[in-house]
Amino acid sequence: MYDLHAHILPGVDDGAKTPEDTVEMAQVASDTGTKIILATPHRKDVTEESSVGHIRELIEDMNGRITDQGNDLKLVLGMENHLDVDLPGEIEAGRALPMNGGRYMLIEMPFFGKPNYIEDVLFKVQLQGITPVLAHPERIEAFQNDVDLLASFVERGMLSQVTAGSVIGYFGKRVQAITNNMLQRNLVHVLASDTHFARGSRSPKLGIGIEAASAFVGEEAALAMVVDTPKAILEDQTFEVARPLESVAVRKWWKFW
pLDDT digits (tens, 9 = 90+) for 174-214: 999 999 999 999 999 999 999 999 999 999 999 999 999 99
- Residue 236 half-sphere exposure toward CB, CA atoms < 13 A: 9
- The model's pTM is 0.95
pLDDT digits (tens, 9 = 90+) for 76-124: 999 999 999 999 999 999 999 999 999 999 999 999 999 999 999 999 9
**Could you give all domains of the chain from N- to C-terminal order, each with its CATH number?**
2-256 (3.20.20.140)
Distance CA 112, CA 97 (A): 24
Distance CA 55, CA 58 (A): 5
Query: What length does the chain have?
Result: 257
Q: What distance lies between CA 93 and its chain's CA centroid?
A: 23
239 close to 229: Cβ distance less than 8 angstroms: yes
Percent helix, strand, coil in the chain, to 5, is 45, 15, 40
- Nearest one of 3, 13, 84, 78 to 45, comparing CA atoms: 13
